[in-house]
Structure 1
Amino acid sequence: MLINNQDVPTDSYAEVRDPGRLTDVVGEVAQGTAQHVEQAVQAAHQAYQTWHKTDLTERSELLLKAASLLEAEASTFAPLIARESGMIPSVTLAEIGGAVAGIRHTVEAAKVFFEEKQFEDEHSWVSVEKRPIGVIVGIVPWNAPVILTMQKLAPALVCGNTIVFKPSPNAPLGISSILMKIAELFPPGVINVVHGGGDVGSALTAHPLVRKISFTGGGTVAKYVMQDAANSLKNVHFELGGNDPAIVLDDADMQEVLPKIVTSVFRRSGQYCYATKRVYVPQNMYEKFFDEMCQIVDQYQIGHQMDPKVTFGPLNNKVQFNYVNELIERTKQSGAQTVILGEKVEPDNWDNGYYLQPVIVKNPHPNQEIVTCEQFGPIIPLIPYSTEEEVLQMANSTDYGLGSTIWSSDFDRAVRLSRQIEAGMTFINQNGQSRLGLRHIPFGGVKQSGIGRENSEIGLAEYIEYHSINYHK
């Protein structure tokens, strides 16, 4: 653990195993207690007293140094993160690159965000000022630990807050190593890390000196976090799950969009929040679309994430593996046609990891579980539709509202339909932000997909309080 820039050992350690080779121990991580939480929060609180008074320029310069450090050492961190998370190294390297860009974009946005806003007339003078909140708790998941951590660290610190992180027990090693390196650039106590289970999480979210909780994960845990936060009226930011629809329009070029849709489904073995979770295809294109999608997916190579031949690796942990496996079995029993595709790489090792082949589900009922849930694994339903009105109704019939995609060759039509989708984000002809989008899109969802936003100036606003001064002449 990292408290006040000290590497803190404990009496208890937990093994972190390679999800693609469970007999391999990647490393061990210290297990914290409520006492360690107290020490970390107190360290962050003390550091805040001076850190929030530092100049924006100094805070920005330190974050830019952190971005350069992360960029320079990406090839060192990536293999460790890949081994513990189950993601292939190229995906991990791309994630680190995205995190580096995100830090730099945040620093750039802060220049505009913190420009003074003052107003004056003959009767009075008004100043609307932005101040940091205090101690922030950042709770991050295992599926993309680097970028999701930096999306909290950069805005929190550039705004003048201090932070205590709790990494996921399923992928804590790489991100902890990164945070320890970065913390050396900052005053002691500005960045802290405490590991542990639910008891450590509850101690953090209930601590009276913590002023805001930024949590990325599942809705069930978010409700417990919100309950803890309520006792001291803490502010919360949640980036939660999705049931992201992909709507293929009848003017889409199938040869062009199909490979992109397939990637949007199966990247990271389907384990990312805005992965495509359901695909709606026009009735008159459906059979051809299904057949060609199967042909593409059947070329996938599934195996250990460090094998250069592999398209995607194992699921990250036993809980998620069991959930997706049981979901596939229930889908089969429902009568929907399920097609298992792809090739096993090193099949003799499959019982030693959390491996699943990609599955495409044909003609499920629009309200069936496989369509309405967040799978978070390599399984995708294809649903036929007849009209725009019908597909919009189906796309919006969910408690989720994170991302969504529309695939079309008609810009005006795609934008018109995008504006009718109930989601925080809609991407057209790609799943994810462009370089321009990374700078300006406030990332997050509506309904049960979250509260608040990350990235851009709007994401910075999550980490400040407003203080207004009105002088009467």
Structure 2
Amino acid sequence: MSAPSGTTALRHYANYINGRDQPGRDGGVFQSINPTTGAIWGDFVESSAADVDTAVRAAHSAFEGPWSALSPTRRGRLMMRWGELIAASADKIGTIETEQNGKLFAEMRTQARVAQDWLTYFGGLADKIEGRVIPLDRMSILNYTVLEPLGVVAAIVPWNSPTFLTIMSIAPALAAGNTVVIKPSEVTSASAVELARLAEEAGIPPGVVNVVTGGRIAGEALVDHPLVAKISFTGSDAAGRTIAARAGQRLIGCTLELGGKSPNIVFDDADIDQVEAGVLSGIFAAAGQTCVAGSRAFFQKKIYDRLVSRLVDRANSIRLGDPLKAESQMGPVASSAQLAKDERMVAQAVADGAEILAGGKRVRLEGLENGYFYAPTILQGAGSLDFIMQNEVFGPVLCVAPFEDEDDVVAMANSTPFGLAAGVWTNDIRRGHLMARRLRAGTVWINTYRALAFNSPFGGFKDSGLGRQNGAEAVNQFLQTKSVWCELSRDIQDPFVIKT
């Protein structure tokens, strides 16, 4: 099924603060581009520090007021209702996101639909956040803990899966009782505003979910704002380091989901048909624009040539086209900057000695000549320490390499500074689990790839981030513990008498 027909009219979006659209104070705007056509899609507020201050103060007022006044059960039910409305609007949201980032409509619509699962799960956890009674040695004292929300949480989210990653970031924060200010990527700012409008429709009080759009000025103002108590950031490792350093100056915490250079490891006893589908899905299904992209594929020598040949044939047959149309198998990359990065990194890989087996160039499609299309690309011959093997491309570029045995491939797989995800393909389940222990990655898939669930923790090792999203432990990262002591006896405790 293709997406509903989009409109060619220029869209205009304001910030969404305290339950209503609010223009920027200084009138600054920026434009977003439809990567499929290269045409202007719409304009958005280039938020100033003053705009960010307005949003944060609205969130702070909602935190101290109506949101805290609701019981956890009631907050959870409102979150669940919000999820229902997002799912019902999946066609609209999916279309908007596809027009802004070029990913397939089917994927964007599905992500909008499954946002309901995340909000249902975390909404259900809202009234299951419990303290505990601590059995002290002093029997006359009741000591118990209370888990309390932090306050205002800043969520800075990327362009590749805007709705999905926004909900992943803020659902546990809201379940814990916090309020949020969202700053979406400049590439895909529209869906965040649409989500915030649906939050109000669901009955979530104004000020609980706010959106400010813009670039670096807005981001820095949000990170530095004294009323922001926690930052949830998804994006590049370079930006994550900067944000963590600034947050550290204020002694506030961060949840960081950063880059990846994930290995897909295939042993010679694996099911080749299953592997072919998994490797292709891991790198080309989203044009490589996912943090867990399986951008390094290691094949055991016995099957290397056969598997590479099959992958090259499939890569050359992938249908590039308008991502709103059902017949398209891959759309454009999201921006001219990303297209230039793909071209630059492949060119450097070739200069370093890699060989292009498929793709390796920009594609100009009839009727979409200005679109940011890059051919599905497969490279071989890159060394483990070459730039292309150490750094995230975030495009449809796969590097393949042979390996001898477990020790050989573990050394190559763990040789990057990243550790977000990894895939292992084998019919020897013992070997699969032993490999999972040896791989330095936050998620290891065995005989599958690119799978996530609302109740399974997700996050990275090494430079791939801090903290975990999804699962019950995600809520704990948006809470703080208070210890309460109560003397129950009426005995007088003489401060000058030491009891033994």
1:82 matched residue in structure 2: 98
The structure 1 residue matched to 2:49, chosen from 26, 31, 34, is 34
Cα contact 1:301–1:343 (8 A) shared by 2: no
What per-residue deviation string (whole Å, max 9, x for no partner) do you get for residues 35-57 of structure 1?
11111111111111122242100
2:295 matched residue in structure 1: 277
Structure 1 residues 344 and 365: CA distance shift in structure 2, 3 A: closer
> Alpha carbon RMSD of aligned pairs, Å?
1.8
SS at match of 1:272: coil
Q: Aligned pairs, how many?
A: 468
Cα contact 1:52–1:132 (8 A) shared by 2: no
Q: Does residue 1:157 correspond to 2:174, yes or no?
A: yes
Structure 2: gaps (5+ residues): 1-14, 489-500
Following the alignment from structure 1 to structure 2, what is the Cα–Cα distance between the partners of residues 164 and 29?
A: 16
Q: Does residue 1:68 correspond to 2:73, yes or no?
A: no
Q: Does residue 1:430 correspond to 2:472, yes or no?
A: no
Cα contact 2:125–2:175 (8 A) shared by 1: no
Match for 2:100: what amino acid?
E
Following the alignment from structure 1 to structure 2, what is the Cα–Cα distance between the partners of residues 109 and 386?
A: 46
Match for 1:153: what amino acid?
I
**Superposition map of 1:29-428 within 5 A:** 29-50=44-65, 51-112=67-128, 114-120=129-135, 122-184=139-201, 185-341=203-359, 347-349=365-367, 351-428=369-446
Cα contact 1:303–1:345 (8 A) shared by 2: no
Cα contact 2:47–2:217 (8 A) shared by 1: no
Following the alignment from structure 1 to structure 2, what is the Cα–Cα distance between the partners of residues 350 and 17?
A: 13
Q: How far apart are 1:26 and its partner, in Å?
A: 2.1
Cα contact 2:343–2:361 (8 A) shared by 1: no
Cα contact 2:184–2:213 (8 A) shared by 1: yes
Following the alignment from structure 2 to structure 1, what is the Cα–Cα distance between the partners of residues 412 and 140?
A: 55
1:3 matched residue in structure 2: 17
Match for 2:406: what amino acid?
E
SS at match of 1:270: coil
Cα contact 2:354–2:379 (8 A) shared by 1: yes
SS at match of 2:255: strand
Structure 1 residues 342 and 333: CA distance shift in structure 2, 3 A: closer
Cα contact 1:44–1:163 (8 A) shared by 2: yes
2:4 matched residue in structure 1: none
Alignment TM-score, normalising by the size of structure 1? 0.95
Q: How far apart are 1:363 and its partner, in Å?
A: 2.8
The structure 2 residue matched to 1:441, chosen from 451, 456, 480, is 456
Following the alignment from structure 1 to structure 2, what is the Cα–Cα distance between the partners of residues 382 and 188?
A: 50
Following the alignment from structure 2 to structure 1, what is the Cα–Cα distance between the partners of residues 479 and 174?
A: 11
Following the alignment from structure 1 to structure 2, what is the Cα–Cα distance between the partners of residues 97 and 379?
A: 28
Structure 1: gaps (5+ residues): none
Q: How far apart are 1:199 and its partner, in Å?
A: 0.8
Structure 1 residues 222 and 342: CA distance shift in structure 2, 3 A: closer
Match for 2:438: what amino acid?
Q
Match for 2:28: what amino acid?
S
1:462 matched residue in structure 2: 477
Give structure 1 regions of 4+ aligned residues with deviation exceeding 6 angstroms.
342-346
What per-residue deviation string (whole Å, max 9, x for no partner) do you get for residues 81-107 of structure 1?
111111111010111123221111222
Q: How far apart are 1:439 and its partner, in Å?
A: 4.1
Q: Report percent identity of matched pairs.
A: 29
Cα contact 2:333–2:373 (8 A) shared by 1: yes
If you compute each CA radius of gyration, which structure gives the higher value, 1 or 2?
A: 2
Following the alignment from structure 1 to structure 2, what is the Cα–Cα distance between the partners of residues 465 and 304?
A: 47
Following the alignment from structure 2 to structure 1, what is the Cα–Cα distance between the partners of residues 418 and 145?
A: 35
SS at match of 2:442: coil
Following the alignment from structure 1 to structure 2, what is the Cα–Cα distance between the partners of residues 257 and 431?
A: 10
Following the alignment from structure 2 to structure 1, what is the Cα–Cα distance between the partners of residues 285 and 72?
A: 37
SS at match of 2:373: coil
Q: How far apart are 1:252 and its partner, in Å?
A: 0.5
Cα contact 2:363–2:373 (8 A) shared by 1: no
Match for 1:95: what amino acid?
Q
Match for 2:305: what amino acid?
E
SS at match of 2:427: coil
Query: Is the deviation greater in 398-407 or in 336-345?
Result: 336-345
Match for 1:279: what amino acid?
A
Q: How far apart are 1:166 and its partner, in Å?
A: 0.6
SS at match of 2:82: helix
Cα contact 1:162–1:189 (8 A) shared by 2: yes
Following the alignment from structure 1 to structure 2, what is the Cα–Cα distance between the partners of residues 14 and 310?
A: 30
Following the alignment from structure 2 to structure 1, what is the Cα–Cα distance between the partners of residues 52 and 449?
A: 38
What per-residue deviation string (whole Å, max 9, x for no partner) do you get for residues 1-20 of structure 1?
01111200232222222011
Following the alignment from structure 2 to structure 1, what is the Cα–Cα distance between the partners of residues 383 and 451?
A: 31
Which has more helix, going by share of residues? 1
SS at match of 1:196: coil
Q: How far apart are 1:181 and its partner, in Å?
A: 2.0
Cα contact 1:243–1:400 (8 A) shared by 2: yes
Cα contact 1:444–1:450 (8 A) shared by 2: yes
Query: Is the deviation greater in 344-353 or in 410-419?
Result: 344-353
Following the alignment from structure 2 to structure 1, what is the Cα–Cα distance between the partners of residues 367 and 411?
A: 44
SS at match of 2:419: coil
Q: How far apart are 1:295 and its partner, in Å?
A: 1.6
Q: How far apart are 1:231 and its partner, in Å?
A: 2.6
Following the alignment from structure 1 to structure 2, what is the Cα–Cα distance between the partners of residues 222 and 451?
A: 10
Q: How far apart are 1:318 and its partner, in Å?
A: 1.6
Cα contact 2:364–2:371 (8 A) shared by 1: no
Cα contact 2:90–2:110 (8 A) shared by 1: no
Following the alignment from structure 2 to structure 1, what is the Cα–Cα distance between the partners of residues 363 and 241?
A: 40
Structure 1 residues 346 and 224: CA distance shift in structure 2, 3 A: closer
